[in-house]
Structure 1
Amino acid sequence: MLCFLKTVSKVTQQTVNKRLHKIPKLVAWIFPRRIWFGTNGNVCLTFDDGPHPEITPWLLDELRSHNIKATFFWQGCNIEKYPEFLKRAIDEGHIVGHHGFNHQSGKELSFEEFKSNFEKSRMLVKSNLFRPPYGDLNRKQAKYALNKGEVVMWSWMSYDFDSTISSKEVLQKAKNQIQNRDILIFHENEKTIHRIKEIIPAIIQIIHNKGLNFALVEK
């Protein structure tokens, strides 16, 4: 049985890392201590990698204009550069979790390196919500992170950073796939800078058309 679970766990992690918009519910069953879904009647709008000097101010303005609260997972190195955005996001009712000090996969880090990267960002944000870069955590890293708070994953990936997927395709996938309780993931980085302003207003309209509301990631 243990051998079977190890095999399924490995396959599941590969599934998370592939270009798959909708994460199979089996993944949440394999990793039940991680947060994969939001509350009933809602979806959670989440953003990784920021803050970004061009994207973040626009995004906060856009969310405020629609009275939407979002959950951000920001890199410590970017928070150090733009601390004013952390204060603004919190003041405006958003939740800011952490995403590592640098955007490094757990696969690339020793346990001590992971701890350092994790703690440097956690201290800057002062949050118990963590989203691992690329979703990558080995068993020891996951245990450490879960002992410190919550590990937040996602149930729908936008792939807004992938230039091989058009904005039109991203939005069509959203229309077809997003459901009640989904945690949606978008990004604030150089790869999304040229189309985030097109995608996010359309996503907001899609969610409203589905009769769903926006909620924060909370545990």
Structure 2
Amino acid sequence: MQCYLIMVSKVKTLQTKPRLFKIPIVAAWIFPRRLWYGASQNVYLSFDDGPHPEITPWLLDELKRNNIKATFFWQGNQIEKHPELLQRAKNEGHSVGHHGYEHKSGKSLNFDAFKINFDQSNQLVDSKLYRPPYGDLKSSQARYAAKNGKIVMWNWMSYDFDSTVSIEQIIQKAKTQIKGGDILVFHENEKTNHRIKEIIPAIIKVIRDKELNFARIEKKR
């Protein structure tokens, strides 16, 4: 019985673990060469991990219907599978950056492996915008990424991939926390496939109710 109670306690702890939706501004002071915020009158929707054969077409349709330009950070191995989605996103005026050829944390890679992962995806997307998977970079990797582009972070995490965070909780946090200049991050993967179609329309309404503009992140070569 004691063992059972300990297990139940651990499960409850995991389920109620607080999530840091809003990144403290001190992060921008510690890593000033990374982009954490945009212009104060805008909000920036960004999407990682795609392109996804089901989510991305729906997402592009939804953005087009609402006349919104967004920013995508896509994996090289996914772009190779769905090159037509890359072309469509560019044709429709979105910014497309890269997210590594494979979704690997910089902490798990030595410098040479990181460079290969970075360069492969950079060549496929042909963009100066880069978002590191999990936000993880060693100092040597960060220097290389900054030399070859712009490291784009975020200051509001949606937790759309986390099934322990309800859609209602995500929307409530958006209502109370999102402000002008915020870079929001969402995901195009199997963990979000059955949630994102509820989340994105609600987030768009929240931002419009706040009378903020939507914008894409731009960085020319």
When normalised by structure 1's length, the TM-score is 0.91
Q: Deviations over 1:42-94 (max 9, x none)?
A: 00000000000000000000000000000000000000000000000000000
Identity over aligned pairs, percent: 67
Gaps of 5+ in 1: 1-17
Gaps of 5+ in 2: 1-17
Letter in structure 1 aligned against 2:216: L
RMSD value over aligned CA atoms? 0.9
- Hey, what does 1:128 align to over in structure 2? 128
Write the distance in 2 (CA, Å) between the matches of 1:137 and 1:19: 21
- Hey, what does 1:181 align to over in structure 2? 181
Aligned to 1:154, what secondary structure does the other structure show? coil
Letter in structure 2 aligned against 1:55: I
- Hey, what does 1:198 align to over in structure 2? 198
Mapping for residues 1-219 of structure 1, pairs under 5 Å: 19-219=19-219
Letter in structure 1 aligned against 2:129: L
Q: Deviations over 1:95-153 (max 9, x none)?
A: 00000000000011010000000000000000000000000001000000000010000
Deviating 4+ runs (over 4 angstroms): none
Write the distance in 2 (CA, Å) between the matches of 1:118 and 1:21: 27
Write the distance in 2 (CA, Å) between the matches of 1:53 and 1:40: 33
Letter in structure 2 aligned against 1:138: K
Write the distance in 2 (CA, Å) between the matches of 1:131 and 1:167: 25
Write the distance in 2 (CA, Å) between the matches of 1:218 and 1:180: 17
Write the distance in 1 (CA, Å) between the matches of 2:186 and 2:170: 11
Displacement after TM superposition at 1:218 (Å)? 2.4
When normalised by structure 2's length, the TM-score is 0.90
Displacement after TM superposition at 1:19 (Å)? 3.5
